[in-house]
Chains A and B, each alone.
Chain A
């Protein structure tokens, strides 16, 4: 499945680093999402973009900063992360934000040291 791609697949970063996660969807969808998946909270919605506008921000710390330059691309900019931010970060897309199936990318496994 190559409908939604994510890079990098694995990332190790120190708490003082700045890095970015990239997501690209090739499905012509209008909505894109960032999820955090960890053992404690299996699928935690972070951000939702619809037609490049952020429509939901679920009380995510400001050290996570999303960017959606167009409907096909989504970024998650990371800075001064904490070890508890280590998790799998999943990107997803769908035709719209309500009642549409979501297509997930393979995820970025992030480790914060």
Chain B
């Protein structure tokens, strides 16, 4: 079945540093979604990317979908303590979402 690999598994950054998590698939994806789960919370939808090469921004967050639609990235500029949590990518298409294992971000003030 469809699988998405997410790296890194963990990332510790100083507040103010940038952060990037990557999501890769061996197959072409119809679209990809990103979710954030705060510690003790539940996953919350952030964004969906559909088009090849698509780039979307939400304040300090930049989401990219690769040209071949096999990979995606989430980049956070100048991290803040409010960014802590686990970021999941999820591949969607004709089947229910397949989630990556997530990247847990820690931000040291």
Contacts and interface: CB of A to CB of B under 8 A. Distances in A.
Contact of B96 (A42, A97, A106): A97
Interface of A: 31, 33, 41-43, 45, 48, 55-56, 90, 92, 97-107
B88 interface: yes
Interface stretch (B12-20, B39-47, B56-64, B68-76): B39-47
Decide if the interface of chain A is mainly helix, strand, loop or mixed: loop
Contacts, number: 53
B88 A98 contact: no
B95 A107 contact: no
B33 interface: yes
Contacts of A56: 95-96
A97 B42 CA distance: 19
Given A42-B102, A106-B42, 14 more contacts: A43-B88, A45-B96, A45-B98, A90-B43, A97-B96, A98-B93, A98-B95, A99-B92, A100-B92, A102-B43, A102-B90, A102-B97, A104-B42, A106-B41
